[in-house]
């Protein structure tokens, strides 16, 4: 084979994230995650077709502290890997108040269990009130999704190294949209899975999904502070997006991670979230089990 052709093939592989997928998958497996490469899901906007997401990584933890009940805490990482020549700019805004208002929507945090809500006693009263399990567990204190005030809501490719125009690359469609659609499908899958355990006297699942975009190229965060435009190079950004179509209607949060930070991201964000959320579930499970009921 002609050397120039070989070089072109190698460059194509390096530029399009194939090696990044393999590196990410290999690292996750070494950390004990169960990984599936090129996982298929159904695009609800085109339900006759299946699409691929680069990696699905799963982490299962069984706890037997409440004999005979066994608690399952499951985390699924939905991962798309991309590599571009040019840096990407994410445009962020302060979403703290809005996030707090919509926090207890299970869809935003991708949290599913057999019980939607909990009956809890009202202090100094014989009455009870109904709150969501997420609110009861105060997951917003422990889940890394809520550790950042800035949320990116838009993105674009900064033409620095290449001479193509922005319109030639549909960046949102190539990076964010596949994760939204995969997230939507896996939400439905997790909902159906936990329903199978409803009324089960032994197995009690708590399931979480975290969508992640791993980028091999540099990216920046642009935002306004005191009326001045700020631009900073970043290795981790939280992206939030509303998506509306005939079959998909929801809000989605995605972690954007640079490949150089991915190892630390897994330790500092994902592992910490898993450990803290698992701990709070175990510490409060008896109350959940005693007061819970399943919402329709």
| CB distance 212 to 67 below 8 Å | no
pLDDT value of position 30: 96
**Cis amide prior to 120 (ω within 30 degrees):** no
- pLDDT tens string 81-132: 999 888 899 988 875 555 555 544 556 678 888 777 777 777 777 677 777 7
- pLDDT tens string 262-272: 999 999 999 99
116 is written with which tokens?
């939607």
Total-model pTM: 0.86
Beta strands across the sheet bearing 128-132: 128-132, 117-121, 292-293
Domain ranges of the chain: 3-293
* Gap between the Cα atoms of 159 and 167, Å rounded: 11
- pLDDT tens string 126-156: 677 777 788 888 887 888 887 776 678 777 7
Closest CA to 184 of 134, 239, 248, 246: 248
- pLDDT tens string 16-65: 667 899 999 999 999 999 999 999 999 998 888 889 999 999 999 888 76
C-alpha distances in Å from residue 10, one per residue of 5, 18, 103, 217 = 9, 11, 45, 17
């Amino acid at each position: 084979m002609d050397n120039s052709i070989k070089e072109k093939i190698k460059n194509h592989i390096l530029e399009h994230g194939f090696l990044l997928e393999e590196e990410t998958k290999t690292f996750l497996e070494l950390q004990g995650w169960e990984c599936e490469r090129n996982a298929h899901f159904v695009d609800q906007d085109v339900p006759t077709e299946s699409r691929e997401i680069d990696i699905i990584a799963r982490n299962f933890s069984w706890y037997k502290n409440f004999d005979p009940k066994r608690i399952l805490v499951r985390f699924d990482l939905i991962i798309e890997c991309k590599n571009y020549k040019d840096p990407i700019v994410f445009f962020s805004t302060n979403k703290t108040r809005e996030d707090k208002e919509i926090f207890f929507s299970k869809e935003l945090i991708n949290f599913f269990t057999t019980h939607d809500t909990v009956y809890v006693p009202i202090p100094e009263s014989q009455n009870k009130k109904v709150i969501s399990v997420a609110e009861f567990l105060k997951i917003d204190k422990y889940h890394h999704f809520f550790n950042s005030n800035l949320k990116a809501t838009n993105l674009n490719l900064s033409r620095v190294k290449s001479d193509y125009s922005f319109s030639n690359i549909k960046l949102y469609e190539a990076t964010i949209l596949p994760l939204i659609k995969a997230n939507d499908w896996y939400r439905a899958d997790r909902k159906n899975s936990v329903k199978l355990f409803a009324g089960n006297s032994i197995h009690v699942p708590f399931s979480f999904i975290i969508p992640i975009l791993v980028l091999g190229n540099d990216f920046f965060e642009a935002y306004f502070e005191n009326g001045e435009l700020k631009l900073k190079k970043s290795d981790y950004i939280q992206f939030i997006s509303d998506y509306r179509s005939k079959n998909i209607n929801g809000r989605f949060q995605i972690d954007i991670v640079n490949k150089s930070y991915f190892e630390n991201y897994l330790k500092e964000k994902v592992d910490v979230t898993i450990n803290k959320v698992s701990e709070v579930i175990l510490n409060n499970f008896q109350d959940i089990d005693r007061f819970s009921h399943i919402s329709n």
